[in-house]
């Protein structure tokens, strides 16, 4: 069984309408004594394997968190061990990471001495060509996602105009009173993640992570994202104000404003949007189902049905094209990795890995 099949698994990077969005600033808190090891190296030279070996050492830690790569969901971007205030992260593109506090917080794990640079230099034309083609695939993928986001954004705005705000606010007031009793103390903290993403394997969703965070999950059925967005932002604000830490998961098509899933681990409570793009109904045993149609004017919504149906179908095609391009990029990436695989001394990589594991074993 792969580690991500039994551990908390999320993404911190995702293809979005504006490019690859990065949430890697969420890895650790530099003020609490955390340490980050940033791996520097090329594709296919063992970075993900090193992180899996680190994860294996801490596999019994219930809070171990695996961050998968949106470009290749079989690879890892990071391993987070909260109990050790420790993180190991791939610092290569597309999320280039550099130390902000070198030595004090971050340290570099450098794979470049493990390469045969002359061999790589002799293949430079092929490597450059592959890298450029991969970049083009990713660029065009994000353009298709931008088109999908524009279409779905139009439906969102139409649906928003049909929401009965007074009715929704009344429901949210009752729900907050029932579920979010004031705990007291300082405001809660927020951890931001992606639970879903458009990847080379299609639309992925890490349902098992949701189940690990919450035994009670409200499933919010919302095709257009208007009611659910208002609902989740309200619950998030209430939870933080009432001193609860939250895990906020955003939509990759609107990665900075559209909240789609929210978890309050201290209450083992979750709220998840379910629709045709990521349907959780068959995978989650819902504690409660919330049908967002109850908060909308059905007659007003019906006036926009033809336009919204067109938007949904066209957006589905755009997302399908984006997924196809990520599949092409992955095939090119595997070819690129072959050059680095051939030029890497994996005995040196193993020595580097053992050295890191020994260093981690000495940490308190």
In tens, the pLDDT along 26-60 reads 888 888 889 999 999 989 899 999 999 999 999 88
Contact 214, 263 (CB under 8 A): yes
Based on the number of CB atoms within 10 Å of its own CB, is 83 exposed (0-12), middle (13-18) or buried (19 or more)? exposed
Q: Give the mean pLDDT of 57-73.
A: 91
Question: Greater confidence, 363 or 167?
Answer: 167
Cα–Cα distance measured from residue 290 to residue 134, given in angstroms and rounded to the nearest whole number:
41
Tell how strand 202-205 and strand 8-10 pair up: unpaired
The DSSP bridge partners found for residue 22 are: 13
Q: In what order do the strands lie in the sheet with 269-274?
A: 190-193, 246-251, 254-264, 269-274, 216-221, 288-291
Please report the pLDDT score of residue 3 as a whole number.
43
Q: How many CA atoms lie within 13 A of 166 on its CB side?
A: 1
Contact 54, 79 (CB under 8 A): yes
Please report the pLDDT score of residue 218 as a whole number.
97
Helix (H) or strand (E) holding 69: none
In tens, the pLDDT along 158-187 reads 999 999 999 999 999 999 999 998 776 788
* 3-class DSSP assignment, residue 255: strand
Phi-psi region of 185 (alpha: psi -120 to 50; beta: other; left: phi over 0): left
In tens, the pLDDT along 312-361 reads 999 999 999 999 999 999 999 999 999 999 999 999 999 999 999 999 98
Going 336 to 338 to 343 to 349, the CA torsion angle's sign is positive
Would the pTM of this model clear 0.95, i.e. be above it?
A: no
Tell me phi and psi for residue 328, to 5 degrees.
Answer: -65, -45
Q: How far apart are the first and last CA of the chain?
A: 29
Question: Which range among 66-80, 163-177, 179-193, 281-295 shows the weakest confidence by mean pLDDT?
Answer: 179-193
Rg (CA), the chain: 22
What percentage of the chain exceeds 90 in pLDDT?
A: 80
User: Where do the domains of the chain lie?
Assistant: 3-115+345-361, 163-296
In tens, the pLDDT along 108-135 reads 999 999 999 999 999 999 999 999 999 9
Closest CA to 267 of 247, 289, 295: 247
Give, as one character, the DSSP assignment of residue 113. G
Cα–Cα distance measured from residue 72 to residue 169, given in angstroms and rounded to the nearest whole number:
41
Please report the pLDDT score of residue 94 as a whole number.
75
Contact 337, 44 (CB under 8 A): yes
């Amino acid at each position: 069984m792969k580690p991500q099949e039994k551990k908390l698994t999320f993404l911190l990077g995702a293809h979005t309408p504006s490019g690859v969005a990065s949430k890697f600033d969420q890895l650790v808190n530099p003020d609490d004594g955390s340490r980050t090891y940033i791996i520097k190296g090329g594709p296919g030279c063992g970075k993900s394997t090193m992180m899996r070996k680190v994860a294996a050492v801490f596999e019994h830690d219930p809070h171990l968190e695996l961050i998968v790569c949106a470009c290749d969901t079989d690879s890892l971007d990071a391993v987070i061990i909260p109990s050790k205030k420790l993180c190991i992260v791939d610092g290569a593109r597309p999320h280039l990471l550099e130390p902000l506090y070198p030595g004090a917080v971050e340290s570099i794990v450098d794979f470049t001495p493990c390469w045969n640079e002359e061999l790589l230099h002799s293949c430079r034309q092929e490597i450059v060509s592959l890298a450029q083609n991969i970049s083009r695939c990713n660029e065009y993928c994000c353009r298709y996602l931008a088109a999908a986001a524009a279409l779905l954004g139009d439906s969102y705005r139409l649906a928003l105009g049909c929401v009965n705000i007074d009715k929704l606010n009344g429901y949210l007031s009752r729900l907050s009173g029932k579920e979010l009793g004031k705990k007291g103390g300082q405001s809660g903290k927020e951890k931001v993640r992606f639970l879903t993403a458009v990847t080379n394997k299609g639309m992925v969703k890490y349902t098992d992570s949701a189940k690990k965070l919450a035994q009670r999950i409200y499933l919010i059925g919302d095709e257009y994202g208007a009611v659910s967005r208002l609902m989740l932002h309200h619950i998030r604000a209430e939870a933080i104000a009432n001193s609860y830490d939250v895990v906020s998961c955003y939509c990759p098509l609107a990665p900075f404003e559209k909240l789609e899933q929210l978890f309050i681990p201290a209450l083992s409570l979750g709220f998840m949007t379910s629709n045709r793009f990521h349907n959780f109904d068959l995978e989650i045993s819902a504690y409660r189902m919330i049908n967002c149609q109850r908060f909308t004017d059905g007659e007003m919504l019906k006036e926009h049905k033809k336009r919204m149906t067109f938007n949904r179908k066209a957006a589905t095609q755009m997302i399908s094209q984006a997924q196809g391009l990520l599949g092409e990029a992955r095939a090119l990436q595997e070819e690129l990795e072959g050059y680095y695989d051939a030029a890497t001394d994996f005995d040196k990589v193993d020595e580097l890995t053992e050295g890191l594991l020994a260093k981690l074993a000495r940490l308190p």
